[in-house]
Chains A and B, each alone.
Chain A
């Protein structure tokens, strides 16, 4: 079953074409990594998929339901705000710089969205939140405030916050880029564990070894287009395109 489907996505900032005719689909349980140089459009693609940016053209489909549908001219027509609110429940996003709510404790960061937005009972949500914290190795930090945590701990809390909403698909926007190198490992481990549990994920990352090991499918983007995609061993180990080879040369050295 396709959890996410994007067809012929176009996005311009003025005359600058950031995304050119991008199509991709993500099957349930699949882990897709998007790699590529800065400015290649991979973050913009993620922001379009999570409704933080609007596409100019193309379709955006979650579990068969259209969030945006191209009209005859190809222009993306978004569904009503009420319907978008329902569609948002399907996905979660983990940001590069965490974006935890600093005035809430770790526990409240995780508990408020399911209670407020999901309308769920406190007792049940608390149990789940504590279980998520335990999974992240942070049970003892439930009452701490974000500023008291390390970057890696904050990122794990933000993953827990996203998971508490029980998304069908989870997006990661360079989840380790704001972290010290010695802290990236703990985040990659968490994502790897989620992959082992068949969580559907799309990860924008600069960690090539990680992308190779954890993904089912890799997309290499450059200049707003998908240059190459396929199995990790094909794209990362034996890239066919020159641009992919040039980009990965640094990594292979």
Chain B
């Protein structure tokens, strides 16, 4: 098999890689913001169990003094239970704590094993997207959260006194500053995603790595794998360059 032939085939696979990459980002980046909101949610349906003095202590940012009675500890624990936040924490820890490859297999074949659903060919791609987008949303959510929590409280207070609503404060004051602060870790994540698209081979998606492996196995030739490596490397160089440009574009303020 000639070199140009390999290039042509891998180039075809690369388009699928690119499609998966772009769609994953398009879905996971906004989804990550929703997950971050959930992760920071402090809705406490049992807060009525707190006494007035306990409430006022907590508002002042203080810890509650120990009483030594288990009933008190239980009541306070329940009163400070944040269900939405807890669900998001568990979800994030599962998504970060298990291999993406395993998650992809579960999303794709789970419906068949659990409910006996018949799986179409289109479903594979949908499953891939769901698996990738949800997994990356978990990582993005934690990055966004770190960015949002790093914005000084004075920014919220200034906006509040000027009369900004909560959503005006978030979208006009907090979000733009958050974006600038999270760019370096987001760049890391995007570069990882470029390489992670190769995991799509477990669902036989015809992206570049799957193609390279097939040719390499069929022709007993390692060249396709090298060429695929070069493709990934160049792709990531472009990603890194683009992100650097965005960082530069946002460096007009500090």
Contacts and interface: CB of A to CB of B under 8 A. Distances in A.
**Interface core residue of B172, B252, B253 (most chain A CB under 10 Å):** B253
Interface in B51-105: 53, 56-57, 59-62
B168 interface: yes
A112 B171 CA distance: 13
Interface residues of A, number: 32
Contacts of B253: 102-103, 145-147
A217 interface: no
Contact of B163 (A14, A88, A97, A102): A88
Interface in A57-101: 85, 88-89, 91-93, 95, 97, 99-101
**Interface core residue of B59, B161, B168, B176 (most chain A CB under 10 Å):** B161
DSSP majority for the B interface?
helix
Given A99-B155, A103-B180, A88 B60 contact: no
Contact of B164 (A13, A16, A116): A116
B176 A103 contact: yes
Interface string A208-219: 000000000000
B162 A95 contact: no
The bracket for how many chain B residues form the interface is: 20 to 34
Interface string A111-137: 011001100000000000000000000
Interface in B132-176: 152, 154-155, 157-158, 160-165, 168, 172-173, 176
Contacts of A145: 252-254
Contact of A147 (B155, B161, B254): B254
Given A92-B161, A145-B252, A145-B253, A103 B62 contact: no
B191 to A, nearest CB: 26
Given A101-B155, A113-B163, A14 B62 contact: yes
Nearest to A100: B158
A100 B173 CA distance: 10
A97 B153 CA distance: 11
B56 A101 contact: no
A56 B56 contact: yes
Contacts of B158: 95, 99-101
11 contacts: A12-B53, A13-B57, A14-B60, A14-B62, A15-B57, A16-B60, A51-B160, A52-B161, A93-B161, A95-B158, A146-B253
Interface of A: 12-16, 50-52, 56, 85, 88-89, 91-93, 95, 97, 99-103, 112-113, 116-117, 145-147, 161-162, 165
The 8 closest A-B pairs by CB, nearest first: A13-B60, A14-B57, A99-B158, A99-B154, A117-B163, A147-B254, A113-B162, A93-B161
